[in-house]
Structure 1
Amino acid sequence: MDMRSVFFPRRWLACVVSSCALGLPLLASGETAFQYEAPAIAPESASGYSEKPGWATERFAVAAANPLATDAGYQVLKAGGSAVDAAIAVQMVLTLVEPQSSGIGGGAFLMHYDGSEVKAYDGRETAPRAASESLFLNGEGEPLEFMEAAASGLSVGVPGTVRMLEKAHERYGKLPWAELFAPAITLAEEGFEVSPRLHTSLAAEERLRDDPLGSAFYYTEEREPLPQGHRLQNPALAEILRKIAEEGSKALHTGPIAEDLVSRVQGHSGRPGAISLEDMATYVAKEREPLCTDWQAYRVCGFPPPSSGHLTIMQILGVMEQLPDIEEPIEEDRPSTEWLHRFLEASRLAFADRGKFIADPDFVNAPGGDWNSMLDAEYLAKRAELIGERSVGPDGAEAGNPGEVEMAWSMQLPQPEYGTSHISIIDEEGNALAMTTTIEAAFGSRILADGGTGLAGGYLLNNELTDFSFRPLGADGTPIANRVEPGKRPRSSMSPTLVFDRETDELVASLGSPGGAAIIHYTAKALVAMLEWGLDAQEALDLPHAITLGGPAYLEEGRFPAEVLEALNELGHEASERELVSGLQAIQRTEDGYFGGADPRREGVVMGD
């Protein structure tokens, strides 16, 4: 069954992309191996929460944050492409249609399963060689205000997404690299309709209006955001993607496109950054050893540092596993107050460890020489003993000592983390991936780059360096593990996750979410809901959220009865309501194939046959 036909009417194009311009291989018929056909997908309603049905498929599935991006991945899979092939097509379309969240100007983590082994590909941005630990300090040695730092050249890290995808494609790609850019190039040239989420994000944004290219492209002459449904073409991005399709990642990291990026960062009118052409040319995407952790009947595989995602998720789940069973962890389609209390307390403990120990492993040693020391059962049992009937309250949780030797690091204080998008894909051969991709805050550094084309549009540069600690030292003068250093990768919360059955080694699920540091809570709760409570992927993603980054607790606005908030406050959590806009995507294996869920808080869908 063609799942797209249920939701998306189609319009067929006589000519998709010039195969000569892209250098695509021709078949005997004169056609390219992959022919992209642009769908006519109307923007959704402007509702912030839209119920999703969940999607059952038999042979393959792709889940992404925008229907046009999902459709591009679907068409690649339909044409015989691999999961990695589909992810490349999805990412390039997201650069165009969801520019506020991810793109070729940012970074990503990719978890891949080829039927026998799991690999982790690191495309995280790096600090320039000229960066110093005082990058985000003012003349008095005090940290800059977050947005003052983010919306500037200071915050831009060397992007890694394209180089990482190229590295994964060299190993797992089936279709030619160039063909995978056809969907994004076509949509950039033909135009796409501005979605409700993009319009709303533009309306809420102020700093992008101060960028000359960004203001001219995304706003009217009256500085009003482009309206929902406006057909937006991006000729600059089409030209940039065409060059990357022809030449590979070197087209982004060297030559005119790199020169344009460096010029915009170093020439920023407010706070110029220090990225050089050498930084761009020498960026290396890394293959890292994934972290796979046994939990209940499953083996959960996630990304190692510089991501804090897997370690913190599994600390939360591991601590909760040490506690007595709860008779009713879920009630009235929401987590119970007792479960929320434990979840929030375990989160506080895990975030304390996260704030002290986790950073780029090329610069920081793991406690005890092994990151798995943070997940040791005896250590987690000791941490679980700290959870009582009442909350320790904001700032009441302290880091433990998971290694044999006390680590000489200071705790990093909480600071804002934003943005991101998630992609989950399983192809017809059973290859699976979970990829979380980001430019950090909405619209990144608020710098739009046209690649030196002189055409309208382009792509946004990241503000990923603000994921470093602004302060290099703690109050006692001890260094903070996640401080800025030349060539270092900032700590991330991205949590692309693959789950396997411990007995059979069969793939169980692929999932992940955007949401800054709250990615950890969103993903952890989805794992519990799917694997412990037995909910399907869509039901799990529909559940209301609760988070804490170590301080106050926050419940998703309008999703819990007043008595739940009152009960948590009586327990000392200092809880309040706020908007918690996750963007979870999940695909789980079923007896008949797969079942996918997309977060009702965003525009994503799942497609497959």
Structure 2
Amino acid sequence: MKKLLFVLPLFFVYHTSQAYSNDAPPPEASSGLKPAQSITTTQGVCVTAHPLATQACQTVLNQGGSAADGAMAAAWMLGLVEPQSSGLGGGGYLVYFDGHKTIALDGRETAPKSAKENRFLDSNGAPLPFRQAVTNGLSVGTPGMVRLMQQISKQYGQVKWQTTLKPAILAAQNGFHVTPRLHLLLSVDPSLRQSNAASIFYPEGQPLAVGTLYKNPAYAQTLQTISKKGPEYFYKGTLRTAILAAANTQGSDLTPQDFDQYKVVTSNAICKVITTYQVCSAPPSSSGGITVLQILSLLQGELPKDPISAVTYLTNASRLAFADRDEYIADPAFEKVPVTQLLDSSYLQKRSALATGEHLNQVTAGLGSRQPSLEGVDAPNTSHISVVDSKGRAASMTMSIESAFGSNIWVKEGGFFLNNELTDFSFAPTNKGIPVANRVQGGKRPRSSMAPTLLLNAQGTQVQGVLGSPGGSQIIGYVAQATLDLLGGKTVQQTLDTPHILRRGDSTELEQGRFDDAFKQSLVKAGHLIKEGDMTSGLAIIWRTNEGWVAGADPRREGIALAQKDSVKAH
């Protein structure tokens, strides 16, 4: 493997545009940084953002489930214990290695068929403020999660559909204890107290206290019915009626036909050999996979030993990749996305030359003929699941309802929130008179930054690593950084402990409290504008070593790693 001479926290840059206005949501509130702890096992292993979800995954693996089954069990549970981040009212992406090939499933939400390009413009033709667009039925897309689970079970399941649902049903019936993180997110949410879920999460006007036993009988009943009747209960039955009523009351134009016509898209994952490994991730409608692969490809060569010069190289590479992302990537059913050209080795070699300078040499897209997306924000409330089973099959799945608690629209009959994923579209449909690729269109999937990723050997026949993260558009930076760290020889634990550096415009953003003054002063002298803040990633990493699988969860959240059966060693 070609050794990187210097590996440091990677950051990325947004193409300078209105893509991140002052109205953009902050990262999920930080609940504190705990020491990272990884485990080693020779069996299957699960990593998620919540202990109960990891336990659900572990239970299903122990019952003979595949990595896909384990991921499904975790996803059902996360919809209960992390209502702010994912659930039945949202969607997501899976990248899966079935022992022979690597496949991607796109369960992204879709815009109503009646959606128009001016959906998020006011009467004067100006983009709506982001928060106003979020807490509005117009932000709700047709949910994809339940169909995604159906497709995963059909293609890759090894146990009965009902087996994957059982842990979450029991937890919803019996209750789970509110964690410090959920309490904190309820405490700081700006609008949930005015939603139709206020009485559930703010009894007597106060957020659910830490340790409160929270039961969700509606969610339990929903999962029980889905377990017996299948996904048609959600997409064609009485639950659909309840979802439409909740959304339409808040201004949504979703119809029964949008639910009838929703489909999961199955395709080959997009892969590229980086050093000696094949790195595979999600294709469009997500921009995450292409952008991560571009960043890694642009940095195939050696980085300078000097850390400040290395930061500049990484900044250039990330900015070049994000320039392409902003202009070209959208739902391929509606736009011709130049995937082959964007990942072409000769094209990336030319772009790589632009990255290796002391200053930012170019910030424009490399293929021409487009304009970057305006407005539209990938909000950071998401969750990631990484699983490997005892047969070597692997699942990397990222799920979301977009902003914290989604659109804030609660389906009381179902026990879950609806997404606001349509705010991932560009609010402005044109830029300088040219149509924006990621503009709103009826039936279209909004561009995502989710980047569920697998690393395999160069032949694509054996998994080396599984990773992904929540974090909105920051996902791309988190996953690229972690991949570089792992390729550069860092352990899983060291990778999880590495502080983040991001750049989303003019400012170089540093993870709060993680860098000393000397480093910051050196960056300033080199021309960086420093901004510090929380960067609440949620990396879930599994990595193959001579001793077995090493796995760990991001110390910035509440997640854990658990091994199948008892073959585990904690570090």
Query: Normalising to structure 2: TM-score of the pair?
Result: 0.91
- Tell me the alpha carbon deviations over residues 3-59 of structure 1, each in whole angstroms, 9 at most, x when there is no partner: xxxxxxxxxxxxxxxxxxxxxxxxxxxxxxxxxxxxxxxxxxx95111122011111
Between the aligned partners of 2:291 and 2:165, the Cα distance in structure 1 is 35
> Which residue in 1 is equivalent to 2:14?
none
- Tell me the alpha carbon deviations over residues 178-228 of structure 1, each in whole angstroms, 9 at most, x when there is no partner: 12211111111111000111111000102111112x10111122x221111
Q: Residue 439 of structure 1 aligns to a residue in which SS?
A: strand
| 1:372–1:569 Cα change, 3 Å | farther
> Which residue in 2 is equivalent to 1:448?
410
Are residues 1:463 and 2:424 paired?
A: no
The answer to whether the 8 Å contact 2:31/2:184 transfers is: no
Between the aligned partners of 1:552 and 1:399, the Cα distance in structure 2 is 20
Q: Residue 555 of structure 1 aligns to a residue in which SS?
A: strand
> Which residue in 2 is equivalent to 1:585?
540
The answer to whether the 8 Å contact 2:401/2:419 transfers is: yes
Are residues 1:412 and 2:373 paired?
A: yes
1:28-47 paired onto structure 2 within 5 Å: 47=31
1:83-162 paired onto structure 2 within 5 Å: 83-162=67-146
Are residues 1:473 and 2:430 paired?
A: yes
The answer to whether the 8 Å contact 2:295/2:317 transfers is: yes
1:504 Cα offset (Å): 7.5
1:581 Cα offset (Å): 0.5
Residue 353 (structure 2) aligned to one of 385, 399, 407: 385
Residue 63 (structure 2) aligned to one of 72, 79, 85: 79
Paired residue type of 2:210:
Q
- Tell me the alpha carbon deviations over residues 456-505 of structure 1, each in whole angstroms, 9 at most, x when there is no partner: xx10110000000000000x210000000000000000000010111573
> Which residue in 2 is equivalent to 1:547?
502
The answer to whether the 8 Å contact 1:73/1:87 transfers is: yes
Between the aligned partners of 1:147 and 1:218, the Cα distance in structure 2 is 20
Residue 313 (structure 2) aligned to one of 321, 339, 342: 342
- Tell me the alpha carbon deviations over residues 418-448 of structure 1, each in whole angstroms, 9 at most, x when there is no partner: 2111000011111111000000111110111
The answer to whether the 8 Å contact 2:177/2:212 transfers is: yes
Paired residue type of 2:90:
G
- Tell me the alpha carbon deviations over residues 211-246 of structure 1, each in whole angstroms, 9 at most, x when there is no partner: 12x10111122x221111111000111111111111
> Which residue in 2 is equivalent to 1:298?
277
Paired residue type of 1:574:
L
The answer to whether the 8 Å contact 2:375/2:427 transfers is: no
Q: Residue 420 of structure 1 aligns to a residue in which SS?
A: strand
| 1:111–1:387 Cα change, 3 Å | closer
> Which residue in 2 is equivalent to 1:438?
400
Paired residue type of 1:584:
L
Q: Residue 480 of structure 2 aligns to a residue in which SS?
A: helix
Between the aligned partners of 1:315 and 1:177, the Cα distance in structure 2 is 37
Are residues 1:508 and 2:492 paired?
A: no
> Which residue in 2 is equivalent to 1:229?
211
1:573 Cα offset (Å): 3.0
Are residues 1:523 and 2:479 paired?
A: yes
Q: Residue 103 of structure 2 aligns to a residue in which SS?
A: strand
> Which residue in 2 is equivalent to 1:264?
246
Residue 327 (structure 1) aligned to one of 294, 305, 316: 305
Q: Residue 575 of structure 1 aligns to a residue in which SS?
A: strand
Q: Residue 345 of structure 1 aligns to a residue in which SS?
A: helix
Which ranges in structure 2 are unaligned for 5 or more consecutive residues?
1-29, 565-571
Q: Residue 532 of structure 2 aligns to a residue in which SS?
A: strand
Q: Residue 577 of structure 1 aligns to a residue in which SS?
A: strand
Two-structure CA RMSD over aligned residues (Å):
1.6
Residue 50 (structure 1) aligned to one of 9, 25, 34: 34
Between the aligned partners of 1:61 and 1:278, the Cα distance in structure 2 is 40
Residue 257 (structure 2) aligned to one of 247, 272, 278: 278
Q: Residue 397 of structure 1 aligns to a residue in which SS?
A: coil
Between the aligned partners of 1:288 and 1:209, the Cα distance in structure 2 is 41
The answer to whether the 8 Å contact 1:391/1:572 transfers is: no
Paired residue type of 1:376:
D
Between the aligned partners of 2:123 and 2:375, the Cα distance in structure 1 is 22
Paired residue type of 1:477:
G
1:57-72 paired onto structure 2 within 5 Å: 57-72=41-56
The answer to whether the 8 Å contact 2:31/2:181 transfers is: no
Between the aligned partners of 1:387 and 1:414, the Cα distance in structure 2 is 26
The answer to whether the 8 Å contact 1:424/1:586 transfers is: yes
Residue 556 (structure 2) aligned to one of 601, 604, 607: 601
Q: Which has the higher contact order (CA 8 A, sep 6+)?
A: 2
Q: Tell me whether 180-189 or 461-470 shows the greater mean CA deviation.
A: 180-189
1:389 Cα offset (Å): 4.6
Are residues 1:190 and 2:171 paired?
A: no
Between the aligned partners of 1:227 and 1:338, the Cα distance in structure 2 is 47
1:265 Cα offset (Å): 1.0
| 1:360–1:552 Cα change, 3 Å | same
Paired residue type of 2:233:
A
- Name the larger-Rg structure: 1
Q: Residue 104 of structure 1 aligns to a residue in which SS?
A: coil
- Tell me the alpha carbon deviations over residues 308-334 of structure 1, each in whole angstroms, 9 at most, x when there is no partner: 111111111211224x44336xxxxxx
The answer to whether the 8 Å contact 2:378/2:472 transfers is: yes
Q: Residue 385 of structure 1 aligns to a residue in which SS?
A: helix
Are residues 1:216 and 2:199 paired?
A: yes
Between the aligned partners of 1:600 and 1:528, the Cα distance in structure 2 is 19
Between the aligned partners of 1:314 and 1:555, the Cα distance in structure 2 is 23
The answer to whether the 8 Å contact 1:493/1:519 transfers is: yes
Are residues 1:171 and 2:155 paired?
A: yes
Are residues 1:485 and 2:468 paired?
A: no
> Which residue in 1 is equivalent to 2:322?
351
Between the aligned partners of 1:461 and 1:153, the Cα distance in structure 2 is 9
The answer to whether the 8 Å contact 2:303/2:313 transfers is: no
Paired residue type of 1:423:
I
1:399 Cα offset (Å): 1.2
1:550 Cα offset (Å): 4.1
| 1:386–1:550 Cα change, 3 Å | farther
- Tell me the alpha carbon deviations over residues 352-395 of structure 1, each in whole angstroms, 9 at most, x when there is no partner: 1110000001111123xxx03112222222223333654439xx
| 1:47–1:265 Cα change, 3 Å | closer
Paired residue type of 2:532:
E
Identity over aligned residues, as a percent?
A: 41
Between the aligned partners of 1:182 and 1:444, the Cα distance in structure 2 is 25
Between the aligned partners of 1:283 and 1:315, the Cα distance in structure 2 is 31
1:168 Cα offset (Å): 1.4
Which ranges in structure 1 are unaligned for 5 or more consecutive residues?
1-45, 329-335, 453-457
Between the aligned partners of 2:106 and 2:215, the Cα distance in structure 1 is 31
Residue 425 (structure 1) aligned to one of 355, 378, 387: 387
Q: Tell me whether 192-201 or 175-184 shows the greater mean CA deviation.
A: 175-184
Between the aligned partners of 2:318 and 2:65, the Cα distance in structure 1 is 39
Between the aligned partners of 1:357 and 1:63, the Cα distance in structure 2 is 33
- Tell me the alpha carbon deviations over residues 289-322 of structure 1, each in whole angstroms, 9 at most, x when there is no partner: 2101011111001110111111111111211224
Residue 573 (structure 1) aligned to one of 528, 548, 554: 528
Q: Residue 59 of structure 1 aligns to a residue in which SS?
A: coil
Query: Normalising to structure 1: TM-score of the pair?
Result: 0.85
> Which residue in 2 is equivalent to 1:398?
364
